[in-house]
Amino acid sequence: MGVFLRISSRMDYLIEKANWRDFVDLYRLEKVVFEQDAWPWFDLLIVLTFPGFVRLKAVHGDGGGMIGFVAGELRRGDGAGWIVTLGVLPEYRRKGIGQALLRQCERLLNSRRIRLCVRKSNLPALKLYQQEGYVVFTTWANYYHGGEDAFVLEKILPG
C-alpha cells in the first residue's frame, strides 16, 4: 500500500491508498461531511472497489482513523479525469489536508484535464479549487438535492 507522508507545520498526517476495508470509516465520514449530499452505501462501495478509480484517504499521523477522503476517475468519453468526491472531517479542516488529497489524486489520475462539480454556494470548496487553478467550465442546472446548480470546474495541467 502506497503511503504519502505529509508533515505540515499545522498537523502530521498520512495519505494512503484506500480499499474496501475502509468502507465503514468512509461511510461515517461521508455522513458527517456531506450530510444531505451523502452518497448511498453502494456508491461508496463502488468507489472503493471498482477498477479505474483513484481512492486516497488521509489518516491522522498518530495512527487514528480516516480524517479525509478523495476519489477520482478517468472518463475516456470526455478525455478528463474527474474528482468525484473530496471531504475532510470538520475538526481537521484548514490544515492543508484537502489540498494535499486533491493534488495527490490529480497526480495519480495522470490526465492533463481534470474536472469536478461543486455546489454554487460551497464557498470553502470554491476557494480551494480556485487556489488550485480550477476555472468554471460550465454549469449544470438543478444538479443537487434542493435544486441548487453545480459549477463544473476544470483545470488543465501543464503538459
Residue numbers of the site for ligand COA (CB under 6 A)?
33-34, 86-88, 93-99, 116, 118, 122, 124-125, 127-128, 131
3-state SS class at 65: coil
Residue 84 C-beta: closest distance to ligand COA, Å: 9
Q: How far is the CB of 148 from ligand COA (least distance, A)?
A: 12
**Closest CB to ligand COA among residues 123, 156:** 123
**Cell digits of residue 45:** 462501495
End-to-end CA distance of the chain: 28
Between residues 51 and 146, which has the closer beta carbon with respect to ligand COA? 146
Q: Which of 79, 81, 113, 118 is nearest to 98 (CA)?
A: 118
Q: Within 10 A of 111 (CB to CB), how many other CB atoms are there?
A: 18
* Residue pointed to by grid coordinates 502506497: 2
Provide, rounded to whole angstroms, the least separation between the CB of residue 92 and ligand COA.
Answer: 7
The smaller minimum CB distance to ligand COA, of residues 51 and 139, is found at 139
Q: State the residue number with the nearest CB to ligand COA.
A: 98
- Tell me how far, at minimum, the Cβ of 121 lies from ligand COA, in Å: 10
Among residues 23 and 144, whose Cβ is nearest to ligand COA? 144
Q: Kindly tell me which of 62 and 159 has the beta carbon lying closer to ligand COA.
A: 62
Are the C-beta atoms of residues 61 and 11 closer than 8 Å to each other? yes
Closest distance of CB 1 from ligand COA, Å? 22
Chain mean position to CA 143: 18
CA–CA gap between residue 40 and residue 95 (Å, rounded):
28
